Amino acid sequence: MLEKLSQKSPKPCIFKVPNYLRQVKEMAYAPQVIGIGPYHRGNEDRLKAMEELKIRFLQKLIEETKETDISRYVLKMRELEERARKCYAEPCMPGKGRPKGDLKFKEIEIRHLLDFIHRCCCHPSSFEMKSYAKNKNLDWKFIRCATELQEAGITFKKVDGKSMFDIKFENGTLQIPELKIGDHTEPLLRNLIAFEQLFLSDMHLFHSDNSLKHVTDYMVFMNHLIDSPKDVEILCQHGIIKHTLGDDEAVATMINSLGAFVIYSDSFYSSNFYYAMVFNQINDYCSRRWNKRMANLKHNYFNSPWALISFLAALLLLILTVLQSVFSVLSYAG
């Protein structure tokens, strides 16, 4: 795996996030602790403390290897400098980010840190990819939110799954792996989506299917499943979502904002959508006559305690009226 990750990139693979994405939430794309590479080095006051810590880490490495001369490390980094600079979509200023005698240099062996996370830590399993390959090239339509799906008789179940993308629909049950949402969830998802937007379309990362953007597709799925805090509440009740954002409205707002200004290109409205089969199965279940009637009944009459009480009162009045009519007919016949 690492050998594949360290192969020379045929074209630039490190981009600046375009303004149309960055303007939605600027801080989601800015490093908060450590700057890696020339784009942020020396430009952010909050990152300066970590620059000193980088030197300490290198000094610790030198001590552990019992070496006294760092020139071997500096020369090795300079051998990689030209290759590293070619990875950037925008040219780096001469000397910026260059390894020097002050030890402030960076190592690039993996093509991109997001590339590593995307392929090794945040990717469907091989089993899921085989299943997707069998069911791709499908037409599909959007699904309703969790509240309306529940009204249609669909139940939700938290499953372990082979990855966070392992979502299935079986026998009226939507099975979703747990999603933990914290302060770092939004920046991670936004950067992975931006990575897919800018890089994956032109790279053969998925062998014969290089147009699949599974993080973007996951965002599309969650964005349609969650329309309001009520939808988040339902998913939390079933253990599918666990969050530390304070309230369910904050989660709904975060999920719904992830798709702002995202160019869905190949995956959206196309046959390559990762959850096309799941969407079709859900829509087929909801379109059945009995399920549609039950959903309409729940939505119009059972959506609040007072609506339920009114419905039961009307039903009781109807029953009493029928009984009165029956007794009247029996009395007349007698």
Q: Which of 115-124, 208-217, 291-300, 318-327 is the least confident region?
A: 291-300
Residue 267 and residue 136 share a domain = yes
pLDDT of residue 304: 61
Beta strand 155-159 with 168-170 is unpaired
Domain membership flag for residue 182: yes
45-67 tens-digit pLDDT: 777 778 788 888 888 888 888 87
Domain membership flag for residue 287: yes
pLDDT at residue 156 tops 80:
yes
Pull the structure tokens for residue 157: 């179940």
Note if the pTM is more than 0.75: no
- Residue 63: give the domain boundaries: 31-109
Residue 129 and residue 96 share a domain = no
Between 301 and 44, name the one with better pLDDT.
44
Q: Which of 26-30, 171-175, 181-185 is the least confident region?
A: 26-30
Domain end call among 84, 109, 134: 109
59-117 tens-digit pLDDT: 888 888 887 777 887 888 888 888 878 877 776 655 444 434 333 333 333 456 777 78
Helix, coil or strand: residue 169: strand
Residue 94 and residue 165 share a domain = no
Residue 243 and residue 214 share a domain = yes
> Among candidates 115, 264, 313, which has minimal Cα distance to 199?
115
pLDDT of residue 157: 95
Residues 6+ apart with CB under 8 A from 105: 74, 77, 97, 98, 99
Between 40 and 214, name the one with better pLDDT.
214
φ, ψ of residue 18 in degrees (nearest 5) = -65, 155
Torsion sign across C-alpha atoms 216, 117, 34, 101? negative
- The percentage of residues in the chain with a pLDDT greater than 70, rounded to a whole number, is 74
